[in-house]
Amino acid sequence: MNQEHPTFLDETAGTAPNTSNRLIVQVYLGPRSYEIDIVTDGLASLSGRLESCKERLSAPGGQVSRKALIVTDGNVAKLYAHVVRHSLEDDGWDCQVHEVEPGEQSKCQASVSAIYDQLVEFRADRHTVIAAVGGGVVGDLAGFAAATYARGIPFIQIPTTLLAQVDSSVGGKVGINHPSGKNLIGAFHQPTGVFIDTATLDSLPGRDYVSGLGEVIKYGASLDDQFFEYLEANVEGMRERASDVLRHVVAHSCRLKADIVEADEEERTGKRAILNYGHTFAHAFETLCGYGTLLHGEAVSIGMVYAARLAERCGLIDSSVTQRQTGLLEAVGLPVKLPKESNISTTDILDRMKLDKKTVAGQLRFVLPTKLGHAEVFCDIPEEDVVAVLDELAE
Ligand SMILES: NC(=O)c1ccc[n+]([C@@H]2O[C@H](COP(=O)([O-])OP(=O)(O)OC[C@H]3O[C@@H](n4cnc5c(N)ncnc54)[C@H](O)[C@@H]3O)[C@@H](O)[C@H]2O)c1
Ligand SMILES: [Zn+2]
């Protein structure tokens, strides 16, 4: 792969504007199959793009539902939710908007209840559509309401953060937090369609944007060496949020995630666990540093550095792999070390990792690279090697 932007995905012959710049990623899940439709500057023509999921939005008798509850947050409402609303209303849809406070605290039971209340008042039926316009918080919350209202109603994702465009809007995991645990209450509920407009990323604060690149680099480092090379060759484009680079980066990340989701939709065979590369460390760092100190993608970035060093110590890769990965993370502006002031000890990190909800019977599980672009799950890494890497990188 090189500087060009290979059209590894179909370009459709749709009627919406910007079709020449449109990339479609198909997610094959039998009756739950859907498309991820990626454009730049196409939010105003959303209703036309819904054509692709017409069948799944149809009520018995073939009539397409034209009732939508748009769920969004206070930041995104002003920027994009009203564009979505106008696009749908101009096409004859009956729409209401439900706005939540921006931030993780909105992924709670009270927020879900408020959505149910509005759905009831709106006289929503089983064919009413929920449209999630926002980041991962809005997508997870609105998706969970859609999974549970009337035993499941259709929902479409219109993700507006990089993290949501390359990760959370794809794969059907929806849910909310419980006071005692993140994402503790949830369901698998695949969206009916995912509509991505990369131009929405222009307004994303720099730190949130770069944090999303952590997940992008994760896909390259753990699943696809050619994609990793493409990212290395396009650091400038990523930093500048160049639209052609972004469309390719988002589409390819979605393709890689979709491949895994197709192979292990409900995380039963362990294949989906590869997506957690860097995350065993990252979850511990996020909790120990305190909420808000490290953004998720920043913690994943540091976590990948630790995972690569651990793989190196165990003889799985040589140091050049770790160096290339660290080089790319740094080049896009991601942190590769814990913040100095965090002051967390090896024991704290180890204890925290043992409490991770993905830990089986107290046994540490790591996703480690065995070469650039390939990672595997390991359950038998000696604790002394983990401790040695934690000590070494704390210096
Ligand atoms: N379901 C999954 O598979 C999955 C995967 C990864 C993460 N998640 C979840 O995703 C959530 C994090 O998502 P996030 O990082 O998108 O955070 P977020 O939804 O909180 O969005 C981050 C901030 O950006 C603002 N924002 C969103 N789009 C914007 C735009 N285009 N311009 C300006 N501001 C904008 C939001 O209002 C918010 O303040 C977490 O709750 C996490 O658990 C879910
Ligand atoms: Zn993640």
Is 276 part of the annotated catalytic residue set? yes
Q: Identify the pLDDT of residue 358.
A: 67
Bridge-based pairing state of the strands 193-197 and 155-159: parallel
Q: φ, ψ for residue 78 (rounded to 5)?
A: -70, -35
Which parts of the chain sit beneath pLDDT 70? 1-20, 59-62, 64, 291, 357-362
Is 279 part of the annotated catalytic residue set? yes
Q: How far is the CA of 275 from the centre of ligand 2 (A)?
A: 8
Is 151 part of the annotated catalytic residue set? yes
Q: Among 4, 138, 2, which residue's Cα sits nearest to residue 71?
A: 138
Catalytic residue among 22, 218, 283, 365: 283
- DSSP summary character for residue 9: S
| Sequence ranges of the chain with CATH classification 3.40.50.1970 | 19-248
For the CA of 222, the nearest ligand? 2
Helix (H) or strand (E) holding 145: helix 136-148
Residue of the CA atom closest to atom 30 of ligand 1 = 204
Structure tokens at 92: 């004859």
The binding-site residues of ligand 1, defined as CB within 6 angstroms of any ligand atom, are 73, 75-76, 79, 102-104, 107, 134-138, 140, 160-161, 163-164, 167-168, 171, 173, 183, 200, 203-204, 208
| Sequence ranges of the chain with CATH classification 1.20.1090.10 | 277-394
Q: Identify the pLDDT of residue 270.
A: 84
Is 55 part of the annotated catalytic residue set? no
Q: φ, ψ for residue 365 (rounded to 5)?
A: -125, 125
Residue of the CA atom closest to atom 33 of ligand 1 = 204
The Cα–Cα gap between 371 and 87 comes to 46
Placement of tokens 């406070």 in the chain: 101
Point out the ligand 1 atom lying closest to the alpha carbon of residue 161: 28
The Cα–Cα gap between 228 and 269 comes to 26
In the three-class reduction of DSSP (H, G, I as helix; E, B as strand; rest coil), residue 84 is classed as helix
Q: How far is the CA of 106 from the centre of ligand 1 (A)?
A: 11
Catalytic residue among 35, 99, 215, 298: 215
Q: Identify the pLDDT of residue 192.
A: 96
Q: How far is the CA of 237 from the centre of ligand 2 (A)?
A: 23
Beta-carbon-side half-sphere exposure of residue 184 (alpha carbons within 13 Å): 9
Q: Which residues contact 179 (CB under 8 A, 6 or more apart)?
A: none
Q: How far is the CA of 161 from the centre of ligand 1 (A)?
A: 6
In CATH, the number for domain 19-248 is 3.40.50.1970
Q: Which residues contact 338 (CB under 8 A, 6 or more apart)?
A: 285, 289, 302, 344, 393, 394
**Hey, how many other C-beta atoms are within 10 angstroms of the C-beta on 356?**
17
In order of 39, 52, 224, 234, 294, the CA distances from 27 in angstroms are 17, 13, 18, 26, 32
Placement of tokens 């002031």 in the chain: 341
Is 267 part of the annotated catalytic residue set? yes
pTM: 0.94
For the CA of 168, the nearest ligand? 1
Catalytic residue among 267, 330, 337, 376: 267
Structure tokens at 281: 């460390």
Q: How far is the CA of 212 from the centre of ligand 2 (A)?
A: 9
The Cα–Cα gap between 283 and 303 comes to 9
Q: Identify the pLDDT of residue 12.
A: 38
Q: Among 25, 8, 18, 24, which residue's Cα sits nearest to residue 40?
A: 18
In order of 50, 111, 337, the CA distances from 96 in angstroms are 18, 16, 45
Q: How far is the CA of 105 from the centre of ligand 1 (A)?
A: 12
In CATH, the number for domain 277-394 is 1.20.1090.10
Is 296 part of the annotated catalytic residue set? yes
Q: Which letter, b or e, does each residue of 49-60 get, where b requires 16 or more Cβ atoms within 10 Å of its Cβ?
A: bbebbeebbeee
Q: Identify the pLDDT of residue 300.
A: 98
The CA angle 302-138-36, to the nearest 5 degrees, is: 80
Dihedral of alpha carbons 347, 349, 352, 358, sign: negative
Q: Identify the pLDDT of residue 48.
A: 87
Q: Among 35, 340, 8, 344, which residue's Cα sits nearest to residue 169?
A: 35
Under the phi-then-psi rule, with left for phi > 0, alpha for psi from -120 to 50, and beta for the rest, what region is 223? alpha
The Cα–Cα gap between 338 and 76 comes to 31
Catalytic residue among 296, 309, 352, 365: 296
Point out the ligand 1 atom lying closest to the alpha carbon of residue 162: 16
Bridge-based pairing state of the strands 23-27 and 34-39: antiparallel
The Cα–Cα gap between 228 and 23 comes to 20
Q: Decide if 154 contacts 192 (C-beta within 8 A).
A: yes
Q: Identify the pLDDT of residue 354.
A: 87
What proportions of the chain, in percent to the nearest 5, are helix, strand and coil?
50, 20, 30
Residue of the CA atom closest to atom 9 of ligand 1 = 136
The Cα–Cα gap between 57 and 59 comes to 7
For the CA of 104, the nearest ligand? 1
Residue of the CA atom closest to atom 7 of ligand 1 = 168
Q: Identify the pLDDT of residue 290.
A: 81
Catalytic residue among 189, 257, 352, 365: 257
